[in-house]
């Protein structure tokens, strides 16, 4: 009688099993790598520097406390400071070229929900949820980095934790978040 080799120890199977594992791992690694890396922006805007010198988040994202969207600063807001700053490196020259012509800077969105989701900053900021809770430690970033896992389960989890059972009825109602 021929000795039976268990199926998982047969050479062909071992090699293809190894390949599948490699591909899966590779996918996981590149998946994480790509989702957390910020997209290339027209100017490598340094959040860390500007927040470090005292600019509040809401100085630039003025809508966050008062309305549904936080909004991005206009070129004029940059130019208000940068007109006085000597453009002595390439990044400062880029700011000057948009600023002196008042051209809008084509920023690439980073934190964005599908169109069928209704998100409103105001109730969150009013309830004292900090920007960092949802967007990560932006004060330490250059350009904003996308955050993993901003999905429906994430919204509902926090709504459940931060509300009374009566309020959770409203905060988990489909119509609260979907048109
Ligand atoms: C409150 C004033 C202020 C505002 C508003 C401001 N900046 Fe700055 N920014 C500065 C100062 C000060 C520096 C440091 C300049 C230096 O190093 O000489 C700087 C530096 C920079 C740098 C250079 C980083 C490097 O590589 O050296 C970039 C790029 C930049 N800002 C982009 C912007 C953009 C884009 C906006 C608008 C969205 C903006 N800034 C708004 C004050 C401001
Ligand atoms: C409860 C979580 C949460 C908090 C707290 C929060 N955000 Fe957001 N933010 C989001 C979500 C979700 C989006 C995507 C919204 C969309 O696409 O409709 C977003 C989008 C943004 C955007 C880009 C789109 C826009 O609205 O203009 C900016 C800028 C922003 N947030 C800044 C801030 C700042 C600054 C604060 C603090 C003052 C803050 N956010 C607090 C969840 C949050
Ligand atoms: C001097 C202006 C300025 C300040 C201060 C500032 N930001 Fe920003 N923010 C920008 C600009 C310009 C962009 C677009 C480039 C980028 O994505 O980084 C941006 C992008 C963002 C985005 C992604 C927006 C999108 O379109 O998806 C978030 C989230 C954000 N900022 C949060 C914050 C938070 C939180 C703070 C405070 C810790 C802060 N910002 C302070 C200018 C500013
Ligand atoms: C970190 C906690 C947290 C996260 C994450 C969060 N929320 Fe909230 N949300 C709150 C709190 C707190 C309130 C205010 C509750 C209140 O006023 O009773 C709120 C209120 C709201 C309201 C207003 C509801 C109303 O009728 O007053 C909407 C809409 C909303 N959230 C949508 C979302 C969506 C969509 C997401 C995910 C993209 C999300 N939230 C993620 C904590 C959170
Ligand atoms: C607190 C906010 C919130 C509530 C309440 C909520 N959703 Fe969502 N929903 C989201 C967000 C954010 C997304 C988009 C991100 C994602 O796909 O997870 C989403 C996505 C979806 C999607 C698309 C899923 C996909 O894979 O593309 C469906 C379908 C959906 N929701 C149905 C519902 C139904 C039905 C209810 C009520 C039982 C509900 N939602 C309640 C926030 C909410």
Condensed to tens digits (0 to 9), the pLDDT of residues 30-42 reads 444 445 789 999 9
Split at pLDDT 50, 70, 90, the class of 145 is very high
Residue 21 pLDDT: 43
Q: What is the pLDDT of residues 39-57, one digit of tens each?
A: 999 999 999 999 999 999 9
Question: Hey, whose CA ends up nearest to atom 20 of ligand 3?
Answer: 144
Those residues with Cβ within 8 angstroms of residue 61's Cβ, 6 or more apart along the chain or in another chain: 70, 71, 72, 73
Closest ligand (CA of 151):
5
Instruction: Work out whether the CA dihedral 122, 125, 127, 132 comes out positive or negative.
Output: positive
Residue 159: is its pLDDT beyond 80? yes
What residue's CA is closest to ligand 3, atom 14?
Answer: 107
Ligand 4: centre distance to CA 33 (Å): 29
Ligand nearest 90 Cα, by number?
1
């Amino acid at each position: 009688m021929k000795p039976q080799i268990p199926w998982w120890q047969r050479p062909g199977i071992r090699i293809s099993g190894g390949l599948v594992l490699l591909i899966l791992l590779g996918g996981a690694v590149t998946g994480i790598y790509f989702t957390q890396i910020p997209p290339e922006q027209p100017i490598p805007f340094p959040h860390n520097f500007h927040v470090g010198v005292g600019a509040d988040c809401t100085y630039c994202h003025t809508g966050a406390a008062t309305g549904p969207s936080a909004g991005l600063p206009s070129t004029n807001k940059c130019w208000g400071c940068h007109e006085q700053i000597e453009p002595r490196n390439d990044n400062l020259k880029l700011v000057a070229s948009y600023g002196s012509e008042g051209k809008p800077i084509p920023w690439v969105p980073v934190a964005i929900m599908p169109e069928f989701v209704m998100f409103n900053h105001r109730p969150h900021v009013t309830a004292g949820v900090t920007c960092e809770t949802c967007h990560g430690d932006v004060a330490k970033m250059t350009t904003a980095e996308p955050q993993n896992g901003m999905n429906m389960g994430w919204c509902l989890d926090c709504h459940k934790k931060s509300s009374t059972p009566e309020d959770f009825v409203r905060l988990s109602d489909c119509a609260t978040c979907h048109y």
